[in-house]
Amino acid sequence: MDVAAMRTFVSVAETGQFQAAADELGISQQAVSKRIAALEKHLEVTLLVRTPRGARLSLDGQVFLPHAKQVLTTVEQAELAVRPGSRPLRVDVLNRRIAPAQTVYRFYQSHPEMNLDAVTLSDENAVHAAQAVLVGTVDTAFRALSKGQVPIGVSAERLLDTPLELMVGPGHALANAPRVRPADLVGHRIWIPGIRPGTEWALFYQTLSDAFGLSIDALGPNFGDEALMDALADSRSLATLVGRGDRYLWPQAHDLRRIPLHNPTPVYPHVLLYRTGDPHPVLAALRDHLRISGPPVADDVWTPDWMDR
């Protein structure tokens, strides 16, 4: 059914005049007549009775009018729901404890009027997440994705480089170091439970291992962050890697240490993916926020060479 014709019918019914409806809708009186005639033909009833003074509703028109108004209200609500800025910006933050989620949370704290929704597509790898952005499952996502993997229709900006830190318990050999080099980690077991084959973070840590001769593994079951913190606190040899902006909590008695890496500083390159030309105002504000609020990064950074391909 023609929504424009239905809107025209409601206007004539409320004003009682074809010309008044034409003025209200910004069309000609002839166009009003054509729309009403087409609607009546479609419904196979007479909706309006022409009189010397204008038009009045027929019995069928009186029955149809409240339904037509309800349909138009629903249409207006549907249009409003998808109008840029009217619905929340859906941001895939990958994992709620790591730097993207914490950065988006700080953005929201400084802009509480911004309408956004943080979600996690944690089962998706970078390529699948880019497709989710392209088809509109989410509006934007943080992923480590090379240039050649970004699909047409999706834009990618590297806006959040997260420096890595070593996390160890108080008995670890490097526990009291103010900072360490990647080369200092050779021979130490670095455990990062939860790495899934086929994901971009699995590729990142494999590339990091190969570049510096490190032993990074995800062996054993992943019982969550608390179990990881417990294991680090009790071990003299176990370590893990975390991002500088990642949020971890542990009991004070654990006395865990977060030690910056340097010479070079490995960084995890979070790329912001979004549909090219997306006019959502919160997206523009988020991009501006990311450009000025990312964690400070040293000059001697290391990133995987595949990021530039």
At residue 90, the 3 state secondary structure works out as strand
The secondary structure of 227-292 as a DSSP string is HHHHHHHH-SSEEEEEETT------GGG--EEEEB-SSEEEEEEEEEEETT---HHHHHHHHHHHH
Residue 192 near residue 257, CB atoms below 8 Å: no
pLDDT at residue number 156: 94
Please check whether residue 163 is in contact with residue 260, taking contact to mean a CB–CB distance below 8 angstroms. yes
Report d(CA 155, CA 278) in Å as an integer: 10
Q: What does the domain layout of the chain look like in residue ranges? A: 3-81, 89-160+267-308, 161-266
The per-residue pLDDT for 62 is 93
Architecture of domain 3-81: Orthogonal Bundle (1.10)
Given pLDDT bands bounded at 50, 70 and 90, which one contains residue 295? low
First to last CA, the chain: 51
pLDDT greater than 80 at residue 216: yes
Indicate the average pLDDT of the chain: 90
Per-residue pLDDT of 143-178, as tens digits, reads: 998 888 899 999 999 999 999 999 999 999 999 999
Choose from 50-59, 77-86, 124-133, 210-219 the range with maximum mean pLDDT.
Answer: 210-219
Q: Please provide residue 105's backbone torsions phi and psi, each rounded to the nearest 5 degrees.
A: -65, -45
**According to the model, what pLDDT value does residue 57 have?**
92
Which CATH number is associated with domain 89-160+267-308?
Answer: 3.40.190.10
Domain covering 161-266 assigned CATH 3.40.190.10 in the classification: yes
Give buried/exposed letters for 165-203 (b at 16+ CB in 10 A, else e). Answer: bbbbbeebeebeeeebebebbeebebbbbbbeeebbbbb
Tokens standing for 151?
Answer: 């699909």
| Three-state secondary-structure class, residue 17 | coil
Q: Do domains 89-160+267-308 and 161-266 have the same CATH topology?
A: yes
Condensed to tens digits (0 to 9), the pLDDT of residues 85-119 reads 567 899 998 888 888 999 999 999 998 888 888 88
Structure tokens at 259: 């030690």
